[in-house]
Amino acid sequence: MSQTPTEPVYIDGQSHLEEVVSEYGVVLVDFYADWCGPCKMIEPVLEDLASDTDAVIAKVDIDQHQRLAGANGVQGVPTLLLYSDGQQVERTVGVQPAEQLRQLIDNYAA
């Protein structure tokens, strides 16, 4: 397994997302939009989680990757999907407190 990136990884398509999800144990995928206020509010939280947890934070711009967002059932942003060992295990929509996201990650991080 590769070293966990300490900054969010920007996803450039379905195959890239699958690669990241399969390569790392715990991946939190943030489906976001540049025009979304709540997405901007949660961004610093996600950057902190990327730097101080074992999870990979992956970011998907829904405007650039509409098909990918649709394939993942994203209807509102931010939508956060948590993957553990390649499987989606959690989904949250909207801004979540940092502690709640940290707890979600800790539930699955070894």
Phi-psi category of residue 31: left, alpha or beta, with phi > 0 → left and psi -120 to 50 → alpha? beta
Produce one character per residue of 3-20: b if its CB has 16 or more CB atoms within 10 Å, e if not: ebeeebbebeeeebbeeb
Q: Which residues are catalytic?
A: 36, 39
User: How far is the C-alpha of 92 from the C-alpha of 77, rounded, in Å?
Assistant: 10
